[in-house]
Amino acid sequence: MTHDLVTSLRPLLTAEASAEAYASGAEPGDLEQAVWLRLLERLEADGPPHDPHRWLRSAVRTEARRTRRTARNERSYETEPAGAAEHEPEELALTAARHRALRDAVRRLPGRCPRLLEALLSPQDLTYREIAGELGISQGSLGPERSRCLGCLRRLLTPEVAAR
């Protein structure tokens, strides 16, 4: 009886687990194993379900929800305190070099792009209204101008990034 139940449910379980796995962030095989375990627990406690196909679909969705909930609540274990690696001399030197390369590339941009991107990168965290006033342009044209400047910067930095 149990062997027949497993044999008849296997294709449905494979399909259901594959369909639910992506959204839950789990592997389909992990979902399948969890549902088989739930079925064994069910068989020991209450016997086979009255409608095995319906029970299986419900069990797959329940396990997928459990997986999503677990992933959302879990915190990774870090051996170093958060941000400790950022203060290593090598990391500080690399970060400074990246910032220098970015600032150099921004200065090589055409037109008012250098001033615009310097304002956007400013540690003062200026608002669009303040940036538009500083540059003497309308606030509505700031977004398209920023987009054009970032496109130029991307093209300028592509060879440098590819070389690494």
For residue range 102-120, what is the model confidence (pLDDT) as tens digits? Answer: 888 899 999 989 999 888 8
What average pLDDT does the segment 29-55 reach?
90
The CA-atom distances, in angstroms, between 112 and each of 107, 131, 148 are 10, 12, 11
Residue 24 and residue 68 in contact, taking contact as beta carbons nearer than 8 Å:
yes
CATH topology of domain 89-163: Arc Repressor Mutant, subunit A (1.10.10)
Amino acid at 11: P
With helix as H, strand as E and coil as C, how does 78-97 read? CCCCCCCHHHCHHHHHHHHH
Residue 117 and residue 157 in contact, taking contact as beta carbons nearer than 8 Å:
no
Long-range contacts of 27-34 (CB under 8 A, 24+ apart): 30/67, 31/60, 31/63, 31/64, 31/67, 34/63, 34/66, 34/67
> What whole-number percentage of the chain has pLDDT above 90?
25
Give domain limits for the chain: 2-73, 89-163
CA 164/CA 162 separation, integer angstroms: 5
The predicted model scores a pTM of 0.45
